[in-house]
Amino acid sequence: MKVTVDQDACTGSGQCVLIAPEVFDQRDTDGIVVLLSDSPDPLRHEDVREAARICPALAITLTQS
């Protein structure tokens, strides 16, 4: 799995961080998503899929690597 984020689209809701904190974080200044791992461990794939699914801004894109 390959993860990309669109920081310009991100609204800073933080749902991704709550679901997959090993993969996503937020900037302290404005809450915009920060990608910690663009190729997460397979054990995290289900959480990452859920984070992408519930992102209100659709700022998370997943592709198969």
Provide the residue ranges of all domains of the chain, joining segments of one domain with +.
2-63
pLDDT score of 65 more than 90: no
**Contact between 24 and 17 (Cβ < 8 Å):** yes
Per residue, the 3-state secondary structure of 7-54, as one string, reads CCCCCCCCHHHHHCCCCEEECCCCCCEEECCCCCCHHHHHHHHHHHHH
Residue 19 pLDDT level (bands cut at 50, 70, 90): very high
Strand partners, 5: 60
The pLDDT tens digits for 21-40 are 999 999 999 999 999 999 99
Query: Hey, what CATH topology would domain 2-63 get?
Result: Alpha-Beta Plaits (3.30.70)
Classified as helix, coil or strand, 6 is coil
